[in-house]
Amino acid sequence: MTYLLDTNTLIEAKNRYYRMAVCPAYWRWIQRCQHRGVLVSIEPVGAELQRGHDELAQWAKKQDGLFLPVADAATQQAFAQVAEHVVSQAAKMKPGALDAFLDGADPWLIAKAMTLAGAVIVTHEQFNPELRRKYSIPNVAKAFGVTCIDTFELLSRTEARFVLEH
């Protein structure tokens, strides 16, 4: 199984519960999972992170192999399907929601998940079919049979353990 990280999972971890200085094991765990082929993200997520001016941006710049390209034909075709789907929903959404969604990493994350057998997206966004102010990853992903979980479910599924050294 391959887990694809959304930008918000890394930002939330850095800002809140797995701050880099407080829980460096979390960040090493991401690297280990990536090396085992269990955990990845995509270049647009890496680009979003690297636009920052903080330790997460610096960390992201050093993560060779974590951020998969999206220029491959399969991902491009899947992106076209995602774009077509969200365009068909645009009349129900708040003005500007379509452009905001298509300009970010989220549709690419869904498209990449569609191309990787059994891929699961890790995001803190919640499924909410009544949401109209923005497109959410779980809402769009569901239309394509892509599963979404949060960081805590990821930790459980991968049996992650962060043990004190002292």
**Does residue 162 fall inside a structural domain?**
no
Give the whole-angstrom CA distance, residue 88 versus residue 27: 39
**Does residue 107 fall inside a structural domain?**
yes
Total domains, the chain: 1
pLDDT tens readout for residues 94-119: 899 989 999 999 999 999 999 999 99
**For residue 63, pLDDT beyond 90:** yes
Beta partners for residue 148, in sequence order: 121
pLDDT tens readout for residues 8-26: 999 999 999 899 999 999 9
CATH of the domain at 132: 3.40.50.1010
**Does residue 86 fall inside a structural domain?**
yes
**Does residue 166 fall inside a structural domain?**
no
